[in-house]
Chain A
Amino acid sequence: MMDSPLLRYVGLVVLVILCAVFVSPLLWMLSTSLKPQEEIKTSGFAALPDNPSRTLQYAYENYYAGRDKFVDDRGIERTGYEGVLTSDNVHFILYLRNTLIVAVFSVAGVVFASAICAYGFAKVAWPGRDPVFAVVLATMMIPFPAVMIPTYFIFKFLGWIGTLAPLWVPACFGTAFNIFLLRQFFMQIPGDLSEAARIDGLNHWGIFWRIVLPLSRPALAVVALFHTMYVWNDYIGPLIYLNHQDTFTLALGLQFYQAQHGGTPWNLLMAACTLITAPLLILFVMSQRTFIEGITTTGMKG
C-alpha cells in the first residue's frame, strides 16, 4: 500500500493505543494475581505489590501455598486463605485431568472421524455426494441451544449424565466444521497422486492412510488445535451434563470457584484465571502460524 509517511505514523500511534487497550485486561489479571489480598483495593494502577521484592512470595501464596493469618488494611488480624492449587474446596488438578481426558479423547476422535468423512466427500465419487455435503454445511448453522434439551435426554437415556462421556463421544463422529475444513484441504491434493496410487494397487483406504493423511498434517494440526481450544473453552456442555465436583472440567471448576458463598477474593480468582489461560497462550506462542493459517483458510473459503 502506498500510504503517506504521515498516515503511517498516525496509524502506528492509533494501533499502539488500541493494542494497549487490548492487552491491558490480561496484564491487569496477571498483576492482580500477584498481590496480597489486603492490597487489592488500595493499590490502584500499581502493577506490583507495595513491596515489589515480595512479589514472588505473594505469587507463591496466591497460586499455591495459601496464607496463614495476616493483618488487613484496617489493621485487623484475619484468618488466612488457601492458595488456588491447594484449596480444599476446589481441585484444579482434578479438573485439569478431567479436561485433558475430554480433550485427548475428543481430539483423537474428531481428527480421525472428520478426516474419514472429509475423504468421503473429497476423494470418493458417489451419487448424491454434493447434496449430502450441503446438508453437512447446513448443520453448521444449527445452534447448540436448539438441540440442547433433547440431547440432554438422549444422554440421560444412555445413563451418561454426570459423566464426561457426553463431552467427548459426539466429537468422535466428526463435526461439520472440521469435515468442511479438511475437505477443503483434501480437494487441493492433486488427483494425479491418488490415481497413480490406485494404479499401484492401493484401494481407497490405502490412499487415505498412506497418501492423503501424511500430506494433510498441517490441516490435521489445525483441527486438533481448534478442537483443543473448544474443549478448554466449553462452558454450557459441562454446565448441563456435569453435576458432581469430581467430574468438573476447568471452565466449570473456575466458575464453581468464583460462585462460592461470599465470593472469592479477586487476587485468587485472577490467579485461577491466569492458570487456565496460560496453557492456551503457550500453545499459541508455539504454533502461532498454524493458528493464523487455520483461521484464514476457514475464513476465506466460505
Chain B
Amino acid sequence: MGEPLKLNTILRTAVGAGLILPALALIAFGPDTSREVPPDRVVVTYWEKWTDFEGTAMRRLCDVFNDTAGAELGIYVDYVLTTQIDLKSLVAACGGDPPDLNGLWTFNVSSYAAKGALQPLDERAAEAGITPEVILPVYYNQGVYHDQLYSVPLTPWSIALYYNKDIFAEFADELAAAGYSADRAPRTMDEFADYCRIVHRRNDKNDIELHGFVLGVPENIGWYWYAWGTWFGATWSDPETGLMKIDSAEQIRAYEWLQEFVRMFGQRDMIRLESSLANFNSPDNPFMTGRLAMMQQGPWFPNMIRQYAPEINYGAAPFPTHDGSEISYCGQDVLVIPSGARHPDEAWAFIDWLYNSPPINVPSGAAEPQFGYEYCIIETNEGPQQRPMPPLRPLEWLCWNHYKNSPYIEPADDFTRTHPNPVVEVHDQLARSPLAMTEPPIPNWMELRGEFEATYRDIWAGRAEAAPCLRAAQKRIDALTKLAADRMARYGEEYP
C-alpha cells in the first residue's frame, strides 16, 4: 500500500491487462456466428450429424443449392453440425427452438412423430413425386408412422459382411480342407463359425494375432449392433401386436450363438481384441491392420479402408444367416421438418431440389480431391482407373459421395456405372431383398433400445447368460411399454 511501484505489481497489471483487453476486444468485435449468411435470404437452419467426408459432401451440396436454386428462390440453407443430434433435436423441439430441417436417423422418426415433434410430409412428398413407386419400399416405409409420412430418405444403407480376401487366401488350404473356397465368403452361420475357427492365429504368448470376426460394444462396432438378431431371422417386435420383443426364440438363439462364439475363443481374449477396435472408423481398427478378417459394416466402410489401409484387398457379401437366405438389415439417414420450424416451405424447397433438380455438375476445384468430387476411381479390367465424376441428381450425388447405395428403385445409369464404392451392388442388392429388415415403428423405440443395449452389453461381456438376461430385459421393456401405452392412451392414441 502506498509503496512505490513494485515489479510484481507491474507484472500483474500487465498480465491482467493482457487477459482482459483481448477478452473485451473479443466480445466487442469477435465473430457472432461461425458462418456468413447472405442478407435478404430466408435462412433455412439445417442440423446435420455428419463430420468428416460425409459432412464435407453435404456442405458442398448446400453450397451448390445456395449458389443456384437457392439464389433464385431467395433461400439460404445453413448447414449446422450437431452431435448427438437425436437428443439435441428433441430437446430443442421441447424448448420451442427447433431447426427448419433436421437430419435424423430413421429409427428416430417414430419416437419423434409420436411425440408430435414432426410435420407430416405426405402431401408435399406426393406433389414432389417422392412416392413408394419411385423409392425402394424398405426406405420409403421407414418414414411412415400411423399411416403418415414424416421423413424422406437422404442417404440409405444396408449392412453387409466385409472380408479381407488376402487373409482368406492365406488360409486357403485349411479352408479347402474343410470344404470351403477362399474365393467366397461364408453364407450360413455354421459356415461362418467354421471360417472363424480356421482364420485364427495366436502368437507364442497365446495372444490372438489374427482372428475371423468380433462383435463388440456399440461405440466400437457401430450403432447398429442390434442387427445381430436379424441374421438369425429375428425381428425386434411381435409381428401380431407390434410391441417390442427381444426374447423371441430367434433373438435368444442369436445371442446364445454369440456367447458360445465368444467363449470358444476366450471371453477375455475377445474383449481385448474388441477393445483394440477403438471405433471402426479408425486406423487402429484391426481390420485395417490386417488382424481381423471379417466385419459387419455398411457402404461407408470402403471409404475408410481407402483412407486407412488402401492396400487391403477386400470384398463384401450378404451377411451370413442361420439358413443361408438373404436377410438384410437396412437403415438410412433421413430429413424431417420439425413441428414449430419457422420456415417449413423453404425447408421443403431444398428437399424438392434434392430430389427433382436436373443432374448437377459440381464446380471443380473447390473441394478436396480425396473426397472424390472431381474424379472417381473405378475398378476396370485394366485395374483401377480415374474417371471424371458424372452429373447426378443432387440426392444421388450425395449418396455417391457418401459411398452409399441409392434410395431409388431405378438409380441413374451413371450412378451405378461410376460409383466409387466397388461393392455398392452388394448393398443395393441387400436393400432390394424381400427379407430386408428395419426397426419397427415403436413410439418409444429409443427408450426401449436403451434397455436392449444395456442387456446386450452384459451378454457380450459374458456378465450374464443370454436367455435369462434377455427375458429379464423383456420384463423391463414390457413395463416401459405399458407406461408408454398408458401415456398415449391419455391423449386418446393407440400404441404402438
Contacts and interface: CB of A to CB of B under 8 A. Distances in A.
A301 interface: no
A101 B27 contact: yes
A141 interface: no
B32 A286 contact: no
Interface string B54-92: 010000000000000000000000001111100010011
A261 B95 contact: no
Given A245-B80, A261-B52, A161 B88 contact: no
Interface residues of B, number: 42
Interface in A85-135: 89, 91, 93-94, 96-97, 100-101, 104
A235 to B, nearest CB: 14
B83 A100 contact: no
A184 to B, nearest CB: 23
Contact of A286 (B16, B88, B96, B282): B16
A262 B309 CA distance: 17
Nearest to B13: A286
Contacts of A161: 92, 95-97
Contacts of B27: 97, 100-101, 104
Interface in A70-85: 72, 74, 76, 78-79
A243 B95 contact: yes
A259 B84 contact: yes
A262 B26 contact: no
B83 A94 contact: no
Contacts of B19: 279, 282-283
B31 interface: yes
A278 to B, nearest CB: 10
Interface of B is mostly: loop
B305 to A, nearest CB: 11
A261 B82 CA distance: 10
A100 B22 CA distance: 11
Contacts of A279: 19
B282 A94 contact: no
Nearest to B35: A246
A262 B282 CA distance: 7
Nearest to A248: B34
Nearest to A41: B284
Given A74-B283, A260-B51, A261-B49, A243 B12 contact: no
B96 A94 contact: no
A68 B19 CA distance: 32
A165 to B, nearest CB: 12
A261 B51 contact: yes
A270 to B, nearest CB: 17
Interface residue tally on A, bucketed by range: 35 or more
B310 interface: yes
Given A152-B95, A162-B92, A261-B51, A246 B32 contact: yes
B31 A76 contact: no
A88 to B, nearest CB: 9
A97 B26 contact: yes
B12 A286 contact: yes
A263 interface: yes
Interface string A18-46: 00000000000000000000000100000
Contacts of A94: 30-34
A217 interface: no
Nearest to B83: A259
A156 interface: yes
A89 B51 contact: yes
Contacts of A100: 23, 26-27
Contact of B88 (A96, A155, A243): A243
Contacts of A155: 95
A261 B51 CA distance: 7
Nearest to B219: A263
B308 interface: yes
A243 B83 contact: no
A145 interface: no
Contact of A245 (B26, B31, B34, B91): B34
Contact of A78 (B26, B34, B94, B308): B308
Of the listed residues A78, A241, A243, the one surrounded by the most CB atoms of chain B closer than 10 A to its CB is: A243
B313 interface: no
A186 B150 CA distance: 61
A102 to B, nearest CB: 10
Nearest to B50: A261
A47 interface: no
Interface in A235-275: 240-241, 243-246, 256, 259-263
B370 interface: yes
Nearest to A97: B30
B253 to A, nearest CB: 32
A5 interface: no
A260 B54 CA distance: 13
Contact of A243 (B30, B32, B92, B310): B92
B95 A162 contact: yes
B385 interface: no
Contacts of B92: 161-162, 243
Interface string B15-40: 11001000100110011111000000
A156 B81 CA distance: 23
Given A76-B309, A243-B95, A261-B281, 6 more contacts: A104-B23, A152-B95, A156-B95, A241-B95, A244-B80, A245-B34
21 contacts: A74-B289, A76-B283, A76-B310, A78-B283, A78-B307, A93-B30, A96-B30, A152-B94, A156-B96, A161-B95, A162-B97, A243-B91, A245-B80, A246-B33, A260-B83, A261-B49, A262-B51, A262-B52, A263-B279, A279-B19, A286-B12
Interface of B: 12, 15-16, 19, 23, 26-27, 30-34, 45, 49-52, 55, 80-84, 88, 91-92, 94-97, 279, 281-284, 289, 307-311, 370
Going nearest first, the 5 A-B pairs with the smallest beta carbon separation are A161-B95, A162-B97, A97-B30, A262-B281, A243-B92
